[in-house]
């Protein structure tokens, strides 16, 4: 389920999750100069996991459940919504709030 410009694992877009995780880590003390390197590492991990999971369909349910929990955590932490409005909306052409 991967299309050009989008990383997804079983249809769950991973890019906003990565952005939110990095924003959360920067918020709790990670120096922002390490954010691009962390992004690179997380992108490689997600691509590797995607390739691995294509060959392991029996892992679909636990992976989707885990990613759903992660998205729920990031949403309740307020990071995902804030990151989306400041990063994703300007890319889409909407005004940032």
Where in the sequence is the domain holding 44, given as residue range(s)?
Answer: 8-92
User: Per the domain annotation, does 54 fall within a domain?
Assistant: yes
Please give the biggest Cα pair distance in the chain: 42
Q: How far apart are CA 57 and CA 1, in angstroms?
A: 13
Q: How far apart are CA 84 and CA 91, in angstroms?
A: 10
Residue 41: the pLDDT is 94
User: DSSP secondary-structure letter at 6?
Assistant: B
Residue 86: the pLDDT is 64
Residue 15, token pair as written in the block: 């890019």
User: Per the domain annotation, does 87 fall within a domain?
Assistant: yes
pLDDT tens digits, one per residue of 35-84: 999 999 998 988 888 888 888 888 888 888 888 888 888 777 766 656 66
Q: How far apart are CA 78 and CA 94, in angstroms?
A: 20
Number of domains in the chain: 1
User: Per the domain annotation, does 17 fall within a domain?
Assistant: yes
Q: Between these two residues, 26 and 91, which has the higher pLDDT value? A: 26
Residue 40: the pLDDT is 92
């Amino acid at each position: 389920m991967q299309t050009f410009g989008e990383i997804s694992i079983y249809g769950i877009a991973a890019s906003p999750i990565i952005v939110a995780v990095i924003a959360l880590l920067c918020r709790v003390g990670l120096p922002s100069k390490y954010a691009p390197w962390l992004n690179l590492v997380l992108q490689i991990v997600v691509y590797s996991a995607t390739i691995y999971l294509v060959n392991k369909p029996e892992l679909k349910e636990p992976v989707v459940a885990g990613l759903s929990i992660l998205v729920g955590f990031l949403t309740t932490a307020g990071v995902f919504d804030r990151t989306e409005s400041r990063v994703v909306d300007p890319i889409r052409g909407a005004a940032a709030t």
